[in-house]
Amino acid sequence: MDPKQEIKRRRTFAIISHPDAGKTTLTEKLLLYGGAIHLAGTVKARKSSKHAVSDWMEIEKQRGISVTSSVLQFDYQGYRVNILDTPGHQDFSEDTYRTLMAADSAVMLIDAAKGVEPQTKKLFWVCHRRHLPIFTFVNKLDRYGRNPFDLMDELEKVLGIRAYPIDWPVGIDGHYKGVYNRLDKTVELFEEDGSHGAKKLKSTTGSLDDAAIKELLGAELYENLCNDIELLDMAGDDFSMEKVNAGELTPMFFGSAMTNFGVRSFLERFLELSPCPQSRLTREGDLIEPQEQNFSAFVFKIQANMNPAHRDRISFLRIVSGIFTKGMTVEHAASGKPVKLAQPQQFMAQERVSVEEAYPGDIIGVFDPGIFSIGDTLRESGQKFFFEDFPVFPPEIFAKVQPKDSLKRKQFEKGIIQLSQEGAIQVFKQKDLGVESYIVGVVGELQLEVLEYRLKAEYNTQLLSQRLPYTLARWVYGAEKIKELKGLDNGLLVYDKASRPVVLVNNQWALNWLTERNEGLQFEPVPTEAEKI
């Protein structure tokens, strides 16, 4: 196969949204239209035991939410599609942010009734800072929602980005019949069916001049559509891929993931317009281009126990350059040691397919014996670069944890360590207490709930948890001064997994108190490479 052609046909993107905007449902419908599945189940199906394909973890099926990123691949009309389905819940923002490091573009999903919501804003700015082209899909057109022109206006006012509607809804609010494609100048009208989105939606396509289209629309809807098109053409922006790639313009689509309305036309146009695999920045300030011959990749996700029967641990790699071949040996940059990439797989949620070859833009999972960490660089021997560091979030909720049954401490420690390596939690230790005491830090409450659930389900150990009153964690720098730390009466000194000292305090006032009384010490919100203590 021609490597240049293989790179050109790949699309790797993440879907971002506020919780309950329909992100997992849209992901599943893209799989349906891509031919990867033949019948869609929904997260909230009342009369069925089916669950979204991308929600493979048992707690996700029980709660009807995504709490971990899924990696899904399929082929469609000559494209190799890599979808990164991310958690919508804000308590799992870290997982979403890390996943965005592996994406070349993002689909921003917006609820037609609610518009731009808080979590959407946060994730938009992460994408914007990473210079990811953003495509907007306005969802839930099967319900009453906001006026499409109002939603366009909100994108500009709230997010500061202009919108170019490529598909425009045809019909009356809550009773849309189809979409008008402004680039093709065609109308696609959808037939109603009784499958409730489980099957592909049949449609009729034609131009505005077609008598059949005019008849299906009726005089009033036809006139309304013509007026909307005229207004968009007169007052709206011109379409420019240069502006899209610069993050100044977002192509906008309308539809309903639940009923499949507009999904196929969105998928096809998105694949046509979205970027192929892009270069990646190194710590040294260089760019690694996809066309380079030397293989390189980075770890953006680690997941233990995807297969409970085998208790495996999979590291997900984003291939940046070169060609991956099964069984190849690469250099693990952090240790400088050679590593054989064993049991390479690609995923359809839990379904696994062995990989013989993979190209830049592809996501593969490899067996991890416990040597990889999130953000690790993999490269061919002789290379001397590291990919840019991943963002680290300071935890805001802390709890002292221990096994309920002391005889199961070994399983407990294994679970705590593995889940921290996944990035699901941050783990700190207190020293000089005899038996090591573990303190976990998380960004959101739900992470503690998932921790307790997974320890029980995957490691057969129950958790005793004692919430601590701290809300701030600060890494301490200044090795010669650390033993003289003053003013920690209402705080706690702990150590992270790299044995770096961290202080936990109640609030900003307590942190200011510490800073004033410890000249020569620096208190940083995230660990830095400035000084390894």
Six token digits for residue 489: 């009466």
pLDDT value of position 418: 81
DSSP-assigned states of every residue in 6-39:
HHHTEEEEEEEESTTSSHHHHHHHHHHHTTS-SS
Which SS3 state, helix, strand or coil, does residue 301 take?
strand
* Model pLDDT for residues 142-195, shown as the tens digit of each residue: 888 999 999 999 999 999 999 999 999 998 777 888 899 999 999 998 887 666
- H runs (alpha helix) in 182-341: 211-217, 219-235, 241-245, 263-273
- H runs (alpha helix) in 348-408: none
Local confidence pLDDT in tens for the 533 residues of the chain: 789 999 999 999 999 888 888 888 888 888 888 776 655 553 333 333 344 544 444 544 444 444 344 678 888 999 999 998 766 545 445 677 788 899 999 999 999 999 999 888 888 888 888 889 999 999 999 888 999 999 999 999 999 999 999 999 998 777 888 899 999 999 998 887 666 667 777 888 999 889 888 888 899 999 999 999 999 998 888 899 999 999 899 999 999 988 888 999 999 999 999 999 999 999 999 999 999 999 999 999 888 766 555 567 888 999 999 999 999 999 999 999 999 998 888 876 446 788 999 999 999 999 888 888 889 999 999 899 999 988 777 788 999 999 999 899 999 998 888 888 777 788 999 876 655 679 999 877 877 888 888 888 888 999 899 999 999 999 998 766 777 788 888 889 999 888 889 999 999 999 999 889 888 888 888 776 533 33
pLDDT value of position 153: 95
pLDDT value of position 203: 84
Six token digits for residue 175: 């009773």
Q: Where are the domains of the chain?
A: 3-273, 280-379, 397-524
How many CB atoms lie under 10 A from the CB of residue 482? 16
How many CB atoms lie under 10 A from the CB of residue 28? 27
Q: Count each helix (H run) and each strand (E run) in the chain, helices first.
A: 13, 31
Six token digits for residue 498: 């790299």
The alpha carbon dihedral of 14, 28, 300, 444 has a sign of positive
Cα Rg of the chain, angstroms: 25
- CATH architecture of the domain 280-379 equals Beta Barrel (2.40)
Distance CA 26, CA 107 (A): 10
Nearest to 167 by CA among 116, 224, 112, 229: 229
Say if CB 56 and CB 24 are below 8 A apart. Answer: no
pLDDT value of position 528: 65
22, 265, 275, 338, 383 from 44: Cα distances, Å: 11, 25, 33, 46, 49
Distance CA 271, CA 11 (A): 7
| Domain 397-524 class, CATH top level | alpha beta
pLDDT value of position 530: 39
202, 249, 297 from 133: Cα distances, Å: 30, 8, 22
* Topology of domain 3-273, CATH: Rossmann fold (3.40.50)
| Torsion angles phi and psi, residue 387, rounded to 5 | -70, 155
Cβ partners under 8 Å of residue 337, min gap 6? 331
Six token digits for residue 278: 């892009």
Distance CA 32, CA 263 (A): 10
Distance CA 50, CA 25 (A): 12
pLDDT value of position 531: 38
Say if CB 229 and CB 180 are below 8 A apart. Answer: yes
Distance CA 14, CA 273 (A): 15
pLDDT value of position 140: 93
